Chain A
Amino acid sequence: MRIKHAFLTLWAVLVTLPLLWALMSSFKTDAEIFDSPWTPPASPQFDNWSRAWEHASIGQYLFNTLIVVGGSLALTMLLGALTAYCLARYEFPGNRFLYYTLIAGMLFPVFLALVPLFFVVDNLGMLGTYHGLILVYAAYALPFTVFFLHGFFRSLPGAVAEAAFLDGASHAGVFFRVMLPMARPGMVSVGIFNFLGLWNQYLLPRVLNPDPDHYVISQGLAALAVSQGARSDWSGLFAGLVIAILPVLLAYVFFQRQIRAGLTSGALK
């Protein structure tokens, strides 16, 4: 029993210690950081945070991330739900073919597509633009979203939709007013899954988003870690790191049950 609890606690410490240490370091001066990694700051340096936000552009990177991840998430959910619904609830020639072509996208590593994708985006004049990233993110999130929601729309009862059709609702009306609301639990799960997946992107923006003004947070922070190391504003970098960690961690504290359930149900599909 005692060994078990020691083990459980040890892992909890291993997980939280680096995070708490980064938080503490974000309030220290550079000299204090170099002096000893353990000692708390003599007086908390809130200036680090404002420096990271303003001068190190962390605020700008978060704003870019909000646009890119928010935009692509909305687009993925709308298009994914629509596609999954059409393929799950309508019979038409080529239905199966389209479905398998779409979900085949999950089989391929992004590395395979990387070189041609760069030129496709370049030829469309979309390198380093918000809409370019949004479209690419959405296109790559589509296969899993369709796969997940396809099963979900299949399992919904058809009677309600039939009744709506008899009342004169249009095809689009049935989808938006009847079926989509019924699919809400599935939408929440896949939405959470997609959000974390898109938030996690590093390779795609690294290749497709060379404009520093449009860097997303993962990319911006990594670039800072390289350049800032040279200019040695370590305290500002720690503050930037903590600012990048906080939003999602806070969201998790409030919605932790839904988030864990959403992610694991996504994996088991």
Chain B
Amino acid sequence: MRHGKYRFLAGALIVPLTLYGVFVLSPYLQAFQLAFTNWNGVDSAPEFTGFDNFSKLWDDPLFLAGLRNNGLMLLVVPLAVIVLALALAAGTRGTRVYRVVYFFPQLLSVAIIAVLWQFVYTPNSGLLNGALAALGLDSWRQSWLAEPNLALWCVMAVMIWSSVGFYVVLFSAAMESVPDDIMEAAAIDGAGPMTVFRRITIPLIWESVQVGWIYLGIAALDGFALVQIMTVGPGGPDNSTEVMGLGLYRTAFTFGKFGYASAMGVAIFFLTLSIAVLLLRVTKRERVELA
């Protein structure tokens, strides 16, 4: 029965491993190499420039704007999504129909969401200004994506809008596995609903919340599609919605500075990795075992 094992393994693995090696592994490794060159895609031999690209990053106002904006997204979006999703998940205990609806944005591709919200924010014919006018709040009407102080917040609102539903479903699935008798016991002991939620529900579903923090933290360092499609420029008025990914894209495919763009990629990689590790550390808690 064992004969032909290695022939089978070789036949089965050759295609996927080649695919992975050519399109995933080799580009990742090449990126680290290119990051130390000034390659512009035309010269056959890239020139080694040491850490020049990385020191240039610190003086590049566009990259710093991207870093700042991604940083703000990182502070705002995960927290807002998790708080909203926890509240909505707790609120919809027993009423499933809400969750079906909340999940809708998860099914739209991010480009479609960007186009939709660009329409919503359109000054003259958009839904948002129309809604404000209908509520008699004419003075609140804005050209949302054209205001340097507002544009990034508008982008973050879309990020939150599109992510909450998924985490409602994730958290409520976890909440359903918390046995009712624990809740009842706590209620009998005189704990109010808020105490039960804070002291019992949250610790018992913490593993899902932790996953949420990490995923949302990584996503906050992206934002490319939304910014590139929704905001003018792209990158917004006064670079107010510039994100690191957009800077990389532009540096590479508009300006042809492939070495420098790769250095941005390396910076984004180390930032993403550090954020993931940091969030993993910060959100670490004693695991509560349900007997």
Residues of A at the B interface (CB closer than 8 Å) are: 4, 7-8, 11-12, 14-19, 21-22, 25, 33-34, 36-38, 79-80, 82-83, 85-86, 90, 92, 98, 101-102, 105, 107-109, 111-121, 135-136, 138-140, 142-143, 165-166, 170-172, 175, 196, 199-203, 206-207, 217-219, 221-222, 225, 234, 237-238, 241, 244-245, 248-249, 252, 256, 259-261, 263-264, 267-268
B107 touches A18 (CB 8 A): no
B24 touches A19 (CB 8 A): no
A8-B98, A11-B164, A115-B252 as given contacts; A109 in contact with B268, CB under 8 Å: yes
A17 touches B31 (CB 8 A): no
Would you call B191 an interface residue if the criterion is a C-beta within 8 Å of the partner chain's C-beta atoms?
Answer: no
- CB-CB < 8 A to B71: which residues of A? none
Q: How far is the CB of A43 from chain B (nearest CB, A)?
A: 19
Knowing that A86-B12, A222-B114, A252-B107 are A-B contacts, what are 6 other residue pairs whose CB atoms are under 8 Å apart, sorted by A's residue number? A7-B88, A82-B16, A83-B12, A113-B31, A264-B166, A264-B170
A8-B98, A244-B112 as given contacts; A14 in contact with B24, CB under 8 Å: no
A8-B91, A15-B161 as given contacts; A38 in contact with B130, CB under 8 Å: yes
Expressed in whole angstroms, the Cα–Cα distance for A59 and B225 within the complex equals 22
A267 touches B170 (CB 8 A): yes
Q: Which of A17, A102, A260 contacts B103 (CB 8 A)?
A: A260
A203 touches B225 (CB 8 A): yes
- CB-CB < 8 A to B244: which residues of A? 111
The SS class assigned to the B binding surface is helix
A268 touches B108 (CB 8 A): no
Would you call B1 an interface residue if the criterion is a C-beta within 8 Å of the partner chain's C-beta atoms?
Answer: yes
B23 touches A136 (CB 8 A): yes
Nearest B-chain residue to A198, judged by Cβ: B109
- CB-CB < 8 A to B164: which residues of A? 11
- CB-CB < 8 A to A17: which residues of B? 127
A172 touches B8 (CB 8 A): yes
Categorize the interface residue count of chain B.
35 or more
Q: How far is the CB of A202 from chain B (nearest CB, A)?
A: 4
Nearest A-chain residue to B111, judged by Cβ: A218
A117-B23, A118-B252, A142-B16 as given contacts; A200 in contact with B110, CB under 8 Å: yes
Nearest A-chain residue to B117, judged by Cβ: A18
B103 touches A113 (CB 8 A): no
Expressed in whole angstroms, the Cα–Cα distance for A175 and B116 within the complex equals 45
Expressed in whole angstroms, the Cα–Cα distance for A170 and B8 within the complex equals 9
Expressed in whole angstroms, the Cα–Cα distance for A14 and B31 within the complex equals 42
A90-B5, A115-B258, A165-B1 as given contacts; A120 in contact with B165, CB under 8 Å: no
Would you call B213 an interface residue if the criterion is a C-beta within 8 Å of the partner chain's C-beta atoms?
Answer: no
A-B contact pairs, 15 of them (CB 8 A): A4-B91, A15-B102, A109-B218, A112-B31, A113-B27, A113-B31, A114-B249, A115-B261, A118-B252, A120-B23, A172-B11, A200-B109, A222-B114, A249-B108, A264-B170
Nearest B-chain residue to A83, judged by Cβ: B16
Residues of B at the A interface (CB closer than 8 Å) are: 1, 4-6, 8-9, 11-13, 15-17, 19-20, 22-28, 30-31, 34, 41, 84, 87-88, 91-92, 95, 98-112, 114-120, 124-127, 129-130, 134, 161, 164-166, 169-170, 173, 207-208, 211, 215, 218, 221-222, 224-225, 228-229, 244-245, 248-249, 252-253, 258, 261-262, 264-266, 268-269, 272-273
Q: Which of A18, A118, A139 contacts B116 (CB 8 A)?
A: A18
Q: How far is the CB of A112 from chain B (nearest CB, A)?
A: 4
B1 touches A166 (CB 8 A): yes
B118 touches A207 (CB 8 A): no
A14-B161, A37-B126 as given contacts; A111 in contact with B211, CB under 8 Å: no
A4-B91, A14-B161, A170-B4 as given contacts; A203 in contact with B224, CB under 8 Å: yes
Expressed in whole angstroms, the Cα–Cα distance for A238 and B266 within the complex equals 39
Nearest A-chain residue to B95, judged by Cβ: A8
- CB-CB < 8 A to B100: which residues of A? 256
A112 touches B252 (CB 8 A): no
Q: 6 nearest interchain CB pairs?
A: A37-B130, A218-B111, A171-B8, A139-B23, A116-B30, A113-B27
Q: Which of B4, B9, B22, B24 contacts A86 (CB 8 A)?
A: B9
Q: How far is the CB of A92 from chain B (nearest CB, A)?
A: 6
- CB-CB < 8 A to B266: which residues of A? 112
